[in-house]
């Protein structure tokens, strides 16, 4: 194990004297320095009293553990403080704007949390008999209804557990539909350069070979190149709309028609659905399958607070191949359609994505969000997310290069490049500078079609006052970088840790903590 941290190397902390002199503890006022749990805990102490293990004959056949496992013990207050201190060094959507492009880090309404914590939902076991959890099934059924209605599609598979899991569900349904038609030879999925980063990985994982379709100068799918590549070996296309350049694909209908005419299917990555919800129905654009990130568009928590949830809506053509299980209403009763009950009613299903029903806690939150907003509220979600992104785009375009600003308004995210920064300065420096200003950085170096991309997604939940404060900080850091201010190269200066050596971390990752060799052991 050459990767173990033999050297005891640590990320650098702000130097003593850099702010206003070092302290005895290393703490800076209420920002507390915190060692690793292995360094404060001891194998000699414990916060819990365990009874003596019952004596008896071991039946492990000589496979008993021969050494202690060396877990550190702490008292309860020590353990609580350790994790609370660490959490204070973190950044969260409840602390401030989280402008990560493509991630849709919007506020998680507290009403959602209240509904999800109702004991009738929160304490349900997935194996609860069907007639004892009708309320939960009604939530799943109602949410499914609204997802189908909002997208103008034919059906929905609720079980996929995240965006990429939903993508996999969609392309497996495409595979099943092609196989059912005897079209095993269709092995190629076309993925435009402006697609979400997970799309090619999903296609490859599902056994397709992936081919790129170039983007136009304006950051959109090159329709002619796409049409030219269609043929009897093409299973379909995976397209992101609005795409990762933050732009709407206006040729979507023509793309779908061309793909269908060539015998393929259209998968749409719905990660950016929040920009068009209530305004555009993907079903009207000829899409066959699309996942919806409940943790983006419908405000359920993610980014460490997760879990995600990625229901997939299907066109009529793909519906017979959708995975099990799903909830159906028969008379006044909600029933769960599973392998035993599907029968001829759903015989072509490609199988199952998960053991149970999906992310129940996220379903409750997402339905709460939909019902509390209503149709007009959801339309305003899309409008405000687009308005906020355009406000940032137009407020920044004189200090940062905005490659697609000329092609008109952006959708829900604004994109900038590192063009115009002086030699030696790059996107990473602007991102690190924003940390000093107290903001989580934007998405960097993605999408790949933009050199040194900075992708900013403010979401609709930020007020103008918050956006103005962010723009002020962003403009200040960008202007300092443009002017070659060397302190931007070494940012962050005020964070709990200084800039990490990402190259060293990737080349020689320290994956396992190892006790330092004690002096007496060396003697």
In the complex, which residues of this chain contact other proteins (CB under 8 A)?
Answer: 445, 448, 502-503, 506-507
What is the smallest separation between the CB atom of 451 and other proteins, expressed in angstroms?
9
DSSP assigned state of 483: T
What is the smallest separation between the CB atom of 444 and other proteins, expressed in angstroms?
9
List, in sequence order, every beta strand (DSSP E) within 158-308: 188-192, 209-213, 234-240, 265-269, 289-291
What is the smallest separation between the CB atom of 39 and other proteins, expressed in angstroms?
28
DSSP-based three-state secondary structure for 100: strand
Number of H helices, E strands in the chain: 16, 12
What is the smallest separation between the CB atom of 111 and other proteins, expressed in angstroms?
41
Q: Record the tokens describing residue 257, joined without a space.
A: 């028609």
- Report d(CA 462, CA 165) in Å as an integer: 29
Decide whether 30 or 506 has the Cβ nearer to other proteins.
506
* Residue 303 backbone zone (phi > 0: left; psi -120 to 50: alpha; other: beta): left
Decide whether 67 or 507 has the Cβ nearer to other proteins.
507
What is the smallest separation between the CB atom of 226 and other proteins, expressed in angstroms?
19
Decide whether 198 or 297 has the Cβ nearer to other proteins.
198
Give 191's strand partners.
212
Decide whether 189 or 277 has the Cβ nearer to other proteins.
189
What is the smallest separation between the CB atom of 227 and other proteins, expressed in angstroms?
21
* Residue 261 backbone zone (phi > 0: left; psi -120 to 50: alpha; other: beta): alpha
Decide whether 73 or 197 has the Cβ nearer to other proteins.
197
What is the smallest separation between the CB atom of 246 and other proteins, expressed in angstroms?
20
What is the smallest separation between the CB atom of 454 and other proteins, expressed in angstroms?
13
Decide whether 494 or 508 has the Cβ nearer to other proteins.
508
Decide whether 3 or 341 has the Cβ nearer to other proteins.
3
Phi and psi at residue 57, to the nearest 5°? -80, 130
Decide whether 417 or 466 has the Cβ nearer to other proteins.
417
Decide whether 36 or 228 has the Cβ nearer to other proteins.
228
What is the smallest separation between the CB atom of 245 and other proteins, expressed in angstroms?
17
DSSP-based three-state secondary structure for 345: helix
What is the smallest separation between the CB atom of 66 and other proteins, expressed in angstroms?
33
Peptide bond preceding 307: is omega within 30 degrees of 0, i.e. cis?
A: yes
Task: Confirm if 385 and 460 have CB atoms less than 8 A apart.
Answer: yes
What is the smallest separation between the CB atom of 223 and other proteins, expressed in angstroms?
23
Sheet holding 209-213, edge to edge: 155-157, 312-314, 289-291, 265-269, 234-240, 188-192, 209-213
Decide whether 190 or 324 has the Cβ nearer to other proteins.
190
Phi and psi at residue 383, to the nearest 5°? -65, -45
Q: Are strands 443-444 and 454-456 parallel, antiparallel or unpaired?
A: antiparallel
What is the smallest separation between the CB atom of 258 and other proteins, expressed in angstroms?
25
Helix H or strand E encompassing 335: strand 333-337
Distances (CA, A) of 323 to 259, 389, 491: 24, 36, 48
208-234 burial by CB neighbour count: b if 16+ within 10 A, else e? Answer: beeeebebbeebbbbbeebeebbeeeb
Polymer length in residues for the chain: 523
What is the smallest separation between the CB atom of 234 and other proteins, expressed in angstroms?
18
Decide whether 211 or 397 has the Cβ nearer to other proteins.
211
- Report d(CA 371, CA 378) in Å as an integer: 10
- Report d(CA 360, CA 133) in Å as an integer: 12
Decide whether 294 or 430 has the Cβ nearer to other proteins.
430
Residues ≥6 apart with Cβ < 8 Å to 321 = 173, 176, 177, 180, 314, 348, 349, 350
Task: Confirm if 232 and 263 have CB atoms less than 8 A apart.
Answer: yes
- Report d(CA 95, CA 82) in Å as an integer: 20
- Report d(CA 465, CA 473) in Å as an integer: 13
Decide whether 59 or 507 has the Cβ nearer to other proteins.
507
């Amino acid at each position: 194990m050459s990767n173990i941290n033999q050297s005891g190397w640590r990320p650098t902390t702000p130097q003593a004297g850099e702010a206003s002199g070092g302290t005895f503890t290393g703490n800076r006022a209420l920002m507390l320095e915190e060692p690793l749990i292995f360094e404060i805990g001891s194998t000699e102490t414990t916060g819990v009293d365990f009874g003596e293990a019952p004596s008896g004959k071991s039946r492990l056949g000589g496979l008993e553990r021969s050494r202690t496992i060396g877990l550190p013990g702490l008292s309860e207050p020590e353990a609580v403080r350790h994790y609370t201190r660490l959490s204070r060094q973190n950044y969260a959507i409840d602390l401030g704007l989280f402008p990560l492009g493509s991630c849709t880090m919007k506020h998680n309404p507290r009403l959602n949390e209240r509904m999800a914590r109702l004991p009738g939902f929160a304490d349900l076991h997935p194996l609860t008999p069907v007639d004892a959890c009708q309320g939960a099934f009604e939530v799943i059924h109602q949410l499914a209804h609204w997802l189908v209605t909002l997208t103008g599609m034919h059906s929905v598979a609720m079980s996929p557990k995240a965006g990429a899991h939903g993508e996999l569900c969609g392309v497996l349904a495409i595979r099943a539909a092609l196989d059912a038609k005897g079209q095993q030879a269709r092995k190629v999925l076309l993925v435009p350069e402006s697609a979400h980063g997970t799309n090619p990985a999903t296609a490859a994982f599902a056994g397709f070979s992936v081919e790129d379709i170039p983007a136009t100068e304006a950051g959109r799918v090159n329709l002619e190149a796409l049409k030219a590549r269609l043929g009897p070996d093409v299973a379909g296309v995976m397209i992101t709309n609005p795409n990762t350049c933050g732009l709407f694909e206006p040729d979507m209908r023509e793309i779908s028609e061309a793909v269908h005419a060539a015998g393929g299917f259209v998968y749409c990555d719905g990660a950016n659905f929040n920009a068009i919800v209530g305004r555009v129905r993907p079903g009207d654009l000829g899409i066959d399958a699309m996942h919806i990130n409940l943790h983006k568009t419908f405000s359920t928590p993610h980014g460490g607070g997760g879990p995600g949830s990625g229901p997939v809506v299907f066109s009529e053509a793909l519906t017979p191949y959708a995975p099990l299980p799903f909830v159906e209403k028969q008379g006044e009763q909600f029933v769960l359609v599973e392998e035993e009950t599907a029968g001829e009613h759903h015989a072509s299903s490609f199988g199952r994505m998960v053991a149970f029903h999906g992310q129940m806690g996220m379903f409750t939150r997402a339905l709460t969000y939909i019902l509390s907003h209503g149709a007009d509220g959801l339309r305003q979600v899309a409008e405000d997310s687009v308005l906020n992104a355009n406000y940032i785009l137009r407020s920044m375009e004189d200090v940062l290069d905005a490659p697609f600003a000329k092609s008109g308004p952006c959708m829900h995210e604004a994109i900038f490049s590192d063009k115009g920064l002086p030699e030696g300065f790059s996107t990473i420096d602007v991102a690190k500078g924003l940390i000093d200003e107290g903001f989580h950085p934007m998405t960097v170096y993605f999408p790949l079609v933009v050199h040194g991309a900075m992708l900013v997604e403010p979401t609709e939940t930020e007020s103008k006052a918050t956006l103005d404060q962010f723009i002020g900080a962003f403009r200040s850091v960008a202007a300092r970088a443009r002017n070659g201010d060397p302190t931007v190269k070494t940012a962050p200066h005020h964070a709990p840790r200084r800039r990490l050596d990402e190259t060293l971390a990737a080349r020689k990752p320290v994956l396992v903590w190892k006790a330092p060799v004690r002096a007496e052991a060396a003697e």
